[in-house]
Amino acid sequence: MACAKNVMKGGPIDKIMDTNIQKQIEAYELARSKYLKKITKEDLRNSRLLCEPQILRFDKMTSEERDHVITTEVMGWEPHTFEVPAFLSHEHYCRGSFKPSQDMNHALQVFEYTLIADKTRLVPCGSGAGLFWSIYYEDIYIGAGKTPQMAICKYALVINDVLLYKINAA
């Protein structure tokens, strides 16, 4: 497992590419943050229904596959780049060590990145099968899992779907 280091090679082409990539990342993050605040209940209902097949596939994946999906699709760390993603403040980071479907600290980073403030809540629930966790946007059910990490990951898939739709429609 190779670790990424936030360093530039130093040539003029590398500097131009780094500047362009940084501008694209900043533009995406600005749009993502803007549309995150404009998500409606109807947007979430529609995306939750459309994401059901993806969520069912996500449930059948291995932990490593789940972590890869969340890291690349939701958090935006491209599979073949070695740049440190925007959501991490570390100077060094090993790609394989970000495990949001398994590690609560990593899941909370995903939750914070996709959080709709004052409207989203993670709720412990009980049933005959035992304890599980659900995420709600106001009164709308978004996702559930046996662990809070899995509920957060499923929620993130739905939020990401809404955001991609809104950004692409703009």
pLDDT of residue 15: 58
Q: Tell me the sheet residues that pair with 121.
A: 136
Domain extents for the chain? Answer: 11-81+98-169
The answer to whether 145 and 158 have CB atoms below 8 angstroms apart is no
pLDDT recorded at residue 67: 93
Here the tokens at position 55 are 């969520």
Is the C-alpha dihedral spanning 93, 146, 108, 74 positive or negative? positive
pTM of the predicted structure, to 2 decimals: 0.81
**Element (H or E) spanning 68, and its range?**
helix 63-69
Q: What is the pLDDT of residue 3?
A: 44
Contacts of 43 (CB under 8 A, 6+ apart): 162, 165, 166
What is the per-residue pLDDT for 90?
52
Q: Which token pair is 62?
A: 């291995």
pLDDT for the residue numbered 111: 92
pLDDT at site 5: 45
Specify whether the CB–CB gap between 36 and 114 falls below 8 A: yes
Walk along the chain (170 residues) and give the pLDDT tens digit of each residue: 344 444 445 555 555 556 777 787 788 888 888 999 999 999 999 999 999 999 999 999 999 999 999 988 888 776 555 555 555 555 445 667 788 999 999 899 899 988 888 899 999 999 888 999 999 999 999 999 999 999 999 999 999 999 999 988 87
State the DSSP code for 146.
Answer: S
What integer pLDDT is reported at residue 14 of this predicted model?
54
Half-sphere exposure of 22 (CA within 13 A, CB side): 8
Residue 8, pLDDT score: 46
Amino acid 26: pLDDT: 81
- Helices 104-114 and 148-169 pack at an angle, to 10 degrees, of 30
The DSSP 8-state label assigned to residue 74 in this structure reads I
The Cα 130–Cα 152 span in angstroms is 18
Sign of the Cα torsion 131, 137, 141, 143 reads negative
What are the respective helix, strand and coil percentages of the chain, to the nearest 5?
55, 15, 30
